[in-house]
Structure 1
Amino acid sequence: MNAALAHVAPAASGKATDEAANPVTLSIDGCDVTVERGASVLAACTAAGVDTPTICWAPNLTAANACRLCVVELEGSRTLVPACSRPAEADMRICTDSERVRHSRRMVLEFLGSANDLSQAPEIAAWSQHYGADPSRYPSALANQSCADAATTAPAPEDATDNGHELGPRRVEEPVRVQDDLYIRAYDRCVLCYKCVEACGDDAQHTFAIAVAGRGFDARIRTEYDTELPQSACVYCGNCVAVCPTGALQFRTEFDLRAAGEWRPDEQTVTTTVCSYCGVGCNLELHVQDERIVKVTSPADHSVTSGHLCIKGRFGWQYVHAPALDLSAAPSTDR
Structure 2
Amino acid sequence: MRVFIYSAHPYEQPFLEKEACQHEIVYTNQRLSLETASRAAGFEAIAIFTADDASAPVLEKLAAVGVRYIALRSVGHDHVDLAKAQALGIHIANVPEYSPYAVAEHAVAMLMVLNRKITESRLLLQLQDYRLDLLTGFDVHGKIVGIVGTGKIGMAFASIMHGFGAHILAFDPVQNPDASALQISYVPFDTLLQQSDIISIHCPLNEHTKYLFSWTAFNNMKPECILINTARGGVIHTKALLHALENDCISGACLDVYEHEKGIFFQDLRGQTMHDTLYTRLLALKKVLITGHQAFLTREALTGIARTTMQTIACWESGSPVPSELTTTIHQPLYSIK
TM-score relative to the length of structure 2: 0.28
TM-score relative to the length of structure 1: 0.29
Which of 1 and 2 has higher RCO (CA within 8 Å, sep 6+)? 2
The structure with the largest helix share of the pair is 2
Which one has a bigger Cα radius of gyration? 1
